[in-house]
Amino acid sequence: MAEKTNPKLSETTPKTMLTPTGGFLAGYTHTLNPYSGCSFACAYCYVRRMPVALFRGEPWGSWVAAKRFDPNAFRRELARAYKKGPTSIFLSSATDPYQPAEHGQRLTRELLELLANDPPAFLFVQTRSPLATRDIDLFARFPADRLRVSVTVETDRDDMRRAFAPYSPPIAGRLRALRRLRDAGIATQAAVAPLLPCTAGFAAALAGVTERVTLDTFALGDGASGRRSEALGMRSRLEALGLAEWYAPEKLEEVRGLFAAHFPSDRIFVSQDGFAPH
């Protein structure tokens, strides 16, 4: 595996931060992306197949643009959205809001501060980084039923993480982050998305750190009925590892059965439903 160099970090000054939603996230009114690009560079990232990545002409993961925004303009943007009706925000759909650049840039934290002062009807925070625990103080300021922090944990096998997302945070740190968030009274979930080959102990490990789980697959969760995952070579990557059966749709039901022994049925979600505003 080639050594990954630090991503090129640039800045942009977008006129607006909130983007009206559709498609996979149709249950939300807006998405909110503090960055363009993502240095976690997961091999299966469906954003690789989207215009923001395709037209950039540089490898996905090699660049990150920090969106420098005016806090007053963002407040006004929020107020305009709230005026139109209940506003539900997905943070973030095309980047990880807690990727390494956030340590220094603190854009996600700044946005959360503004959102905590005037919370939307619902805020869903999606990440795979333990850095999210830095902002527990801000999460705690949201009404408990209007915020969920979802941490991706695709597998409990770190060799699988290294095979598919080698630049993403190790699994153990994500489990600790989920536990810390839950213990702080924040609504959480583990997003097993996409489901990667895992051990029989995976469900028990997640049940020890979160109250809810969402299972997703390459075919269901890429926003294009599996076409993006095919184009990204996920099937052949599993085949090369001798694990082709993990691409089959039946695997989801098998794993769901394992999770049913550790989570109540109404705490196990599948694909889109697990990322909806609730």
Interacting residues with ligand SF4 (CB under 6 A): 38, 40-42, 45, 47, 95-96, 128
Shortest gap between Cβ of 22 and ligand SF4 (angstroms)? 18
Q: Treating both helix axes as pointing N-terminal to C-terminal, what angle do 71-84 and 107-117 enclose, rounded to 10 degrees?
A: 50
209: Cα separation from own chain's centroid? 17
**95 vs 214 by CB, closer to ligand SF4:** 95
**88 vs 92 by CB, closer to ligand SF4:** 92
**45 vs 203 by CB, closer to ligand SF4:** 45
Shortest gap between Cβ of 229 and ligand SF4 (angstroms)? 12
**127 vs 188 by CB, closer to ligand SF4:** 127
Shortest gap between Cβ of 56 and ligand SF4 (angstroms)? 14
Shortest gap between Cβ of 268 and ligand SF4 (angstroms)? 22
Give the whole-angstrom CA distance, residue 123 versus residue 131: 18
The sign of the CA dihedral 170, 90, 41, 239 is: positive
Match 């420098």 to its residue by tokens. 68
The sign of the CA dihedral 139, 278, 164, 36 is: negative
Tokens of 83: 């005026």
Shortest gap between Cβ of 126 and ligand SF4 (angstroms)? 8
Q: List phi, psi (to 5°) of 78.
A: -60, -45
**78 vs 131 by CB, closer to ligand SF4:** 131
Q: Do residues 172 and 222 touch, judged by C-beta distance below 8 A?
A: no
